[in-house]
Chain A
Amino acid sequence: MAVSESVSVLNRSSDGLRDGEESVAGDAALVASLKSGHPEAPAVFFDSYGEYVERLLLRVLGPDREAEDLLHDVFVQAFANIGQLRDPSRLKAWLGRMTVFVARGALRRRRRGRWLVFMPAQELPDQKSTSTPPESRDLLDRVFAVLRGLHPNDRIAFSLRYIEGLTLPEAAGAAGVSLATFKRRLKKSDNAFLARAQHHDHALYETLLETPRWRNPHE
């Protein structure tokens, strides 16, 4: 692969480019606009952070038939509570925490629902992406099938740390718990994930143990 050579070509060709001239911040102004009730601020807010929230929901819940509703819920809550955000520079973190909160609510609701309905909500068919290759979809299905057996808090810890790839402090912040608590949950989620994989999807467990394919890319 010629990526490394390309990087050097790029570096040569773009000397002088990296003047750090701009960054897309503007969160303070956006928050001020939302608080003051600018008519188009909600649209800008959604355009700026809609994908981020959708991604975070996807990380925690996997392909989900309620995804649209939950994305909607997060923004409704954000609009309703934006007045409580004191530090606009924390907008993204604040929204992330709200997203995790909504996702946790959905997970808890389903967990409770298992005992109340004939067909467990977790077994309802999830939203399938037609663009995802079958083998990739299979991996997603199997990973999230194992994750469904975890306690919502542990599942969130797993998703934020391993799938979204947040650092421990970031993930603890998003989960709304202390670093120590998050570490405890993560350890619990590790053990629970492996134990469930071993019992319910041995192939996944074996692959996880033996295949170098899933080594940490940052190693």
Chain B
Amino acid sequence: MNERLQGLGAEVARIQDEALVDSRHRAAVRARLLRGPVPSAPPASRFGRPALGLVFASIAVALVLAVWPRESEVIRYSAGERSVSSQLDEWIEAPNGQTLPIVFSDGSTVQLSPGSRARVRELSAVGASVELERGEANVHVHHASETRWSVEAGPYVVHVVGTRFRVQWEPSDEAFALEVFEGAVRLSEPRGTRRVSRSDGEVRAQLRPTVPVEPQPQPETEPIIERSPAPTPAVPASRAAVATPSSRGVAQTHRTSSDANSVSYRPPSAPLELRLPPKTAELVADEPAASEAPVVAEADPPSTPSEESAPVSEPAWKELTEKSEYEKALSSLSPQQFEELVWQGDASDLVHLAAAARRTKDARAGYIYTVVRSRFSGTDNAANAAFMLGRMQFHAGAPQAAAVWLETYLRERPDGRFAREAAGRLVEAYVRAEDTGRAEAAAQRYLARHPAGPHAALARSVLQ
């Protein structure tokens, strides 16, 4: 029966995979995700894993000793007139003109101001986590020997041990306020983490800039990547654009909304914009004639440098790639320089770098092409990167993934320079994946367009 269930599961997966081809949902989520503020990574712990393990072990032992022999009980709560509960994720809303207290069994209280909305996200024996969706909450956390309490408000998290404070969050204008009345709290915010105490007074933060941003001309059609740096009135010069709320806020005003797939995300405030050349070099323009022999690297960089794309002083790595000294070229870059090049270099740089990585079997090649797809979305370079990713996946023994990339290339550039080879490789990929139906369809398409192409024999053998 186990085998029957596996067979049934495989059938379900096959049907689901067909639905997954439709990427509209994904595109919508992508646009939504990158439009809003992306929560930043919290700082890494100062403790190593073993030390942390010891700390946890000590806490566990202390807890066991403290509560022995009775079991520790998870905190419960009641909201307004509701009975005591341990329900999670249930929204609690204070009516207009009336506050609503949430009382926890550990003695802590969260008093919601009129019109505020919150929910309990987590309950444990030593604390709780409450999310304030909007409005204001006056919080009093009962201090105990081990307390783990937190209040989330948008991207902000207030970590509490035992104190009294007021927190406010208005999602409509992304305004956050915190005022500590007793003790101190640890505030995690997009910029990092800091300690806030009574002496700090009221802490206010706003993700969106309060100053109006000038309307951008033709925002629907112009790709962000090709813009010159836009005026950024409320943007600090920090490089950490992901973790800079104000830059995020400005970035929203520059996002196009017409096609989530064809627009790459780049906050205009990022200083790296200043180093971008005025135009992006197209990979195919500098390419030698492509061959469809499977072993030929069609998208390799030219043997002579392009005058137009060369920076004022040719970097050492680039000179080395021109001498075909690819390993030296890659090793001449420190990890930091490599990252800067990938994220700040122009398309031509990235194409050269990816080709060098590919030739030296450096796994970073795939990473570079993926970045090209994102940064130069909608360009020939992005499409060609899809083709190269398809080839790489194919060589790495992942024909299904290869087929996805090759299909992507053919969809984006049906008459592109690599269209014939992509179509042929697609047949190969489906054959290797033993996907009979798609292999036949790909073979038919190939023969219809390239009856005398180098993959014609393979295509005919598929259809026999």
Contacts and interface: CB of A to CB of B under 8 A. Distances in A.
B367 A26 contact: yes
Contacts of A14: 294, 428
Interface in B350-408: 357-359, 361, 363-368, 370-371, 373-375, 389, 392-393, 395-397, 401
A167 B188 CA distance: 38
A40 B371 contact: yes
B69 interface: no
B33 A75 contact: yes
A193 B294 CA distance: 48
14 contacts: A6-B439, A23-B366, A26-B370, A29-B342, A39-B272, A42-B38, A51-B23, A58-B20, A84-B45, A132-B18, A139-B12, A161-B6, A162-B5, A190-B2
A159 B12 CA distance: 10
Interface in A115-154: 116, 129, 131-132, 136-137, 139-140, 143
A54 B20 contact: yes
Interface in B417-464: 428, 431-432, 434, 436, 439, 457-458, 461-464
B49 interface: yes
A26 B370 CA distance: 10
Interface centre among B7, B40, B364 (most CB of A within 10 A): B7
B41 interface: yes
Given A112-B87, A162-B5, A72 B41 contact: no
Contacts of A7: 431-432
Nearest to A42: B38
B4 interface: yes
Interface string A1-20: 11101110110011011111
Interface in A88-136: 105, 109, 112, 116, 129, 131-132, 136
Interface string A198-219: 0000000000110001111111
Interface centre among A9, A40, A116, A162 (most CB of B within 10 A): A40
Contacts of B49: 86
Contacts of A13: 294, 457-458
Given A35-B44, A40-B265, 4 more contacts: A7-B432, A21-B395, A76-B33, A131-B18
Given A54-B26, A71-B29, A79-B41, A143 B20 contact: no
A3 B41 contact: no
B2 A26 contact: no
Nearest to A86: B49
Contacts of A41: 242
A17 B294 contact: yes
Contact of B364 (A26, A84, A216): A26
Nearest to B24: A68
Q: Identify the 7 closest CB pairs spanning chains A and B, nearest first.
A: A26-B367, A162-B9, A24-B366, A83-B41, A214-B7, A80-B39, A25-B363
A40 B25 contact: no
A6 B458 contact: yes
Interface centre among B30, B87, B295 (most CB of A within 10 A): B30
A43 interface: yes
A81 to B, nearest CB: 7
Interface of A: 1-3, 5-7, 9-10, 13-14, 16-26, 29-30, 32-44, 46-48, 50-51, 54-55, 58-59, 63, 67-68, 71-72, 75-76, 79-84, 86, 105, 109, 112, 116, 129, 131-132, 136-137, 139-140, 143, 158-159, 161-165, 190, 193-194, 208-209, 213-219
A43 B34 contact: yes
Given A2-B464, A129-B19, A140-B12, A25 B431 contact: no
Given A140-B15, A143-B12, A190 B461 contact: no
Given A132-B15, A143-B12, A44 B26 contact: no
B101 to A, nearest CB: 22
B277 to A, nearest CB: 17
Is chain B's interface secondary structure helix, strand, loop, or mixed overall?
A: helix
Contacts of A44: 370-371, 374
B270 interface: yes
A157 to B, nearest CB: 11
Nearest to B25: A68
A125 B115 CA distance: 32
Contacts of A214: 4, 7-8, 10-11
B42 A83 contact: yes
Interface centre among B87, B366, B457 (most CB of A within 10 A): B366
Given A13-B294, A41-B242, A68-B25, A21 B361 contact: yes
Nearest to A77: B39
A7 B436 CA distance: 11
A146 to B, nearest CB: 10
Given A17-B295, A34-B41, A84-B42, A59 B343 contact: no
A50 B41 contact: no
A40 B239 CA distance: 12
B5 A43 contact: no
Nearest to A71: B29
A21 B360 CA distance: 7
B16 interface: yes
Contacts of A216: 3-4, 6-7, 10
Contact of A80 (B7, B41, B367): B41
B395 A47 contact: no
B5 A190 contact: yes
B267 interface: yes
B30 A50 contact: yes
Contact of A164 (B13, B38, B358, B375): B13
Nearest to A50: B26
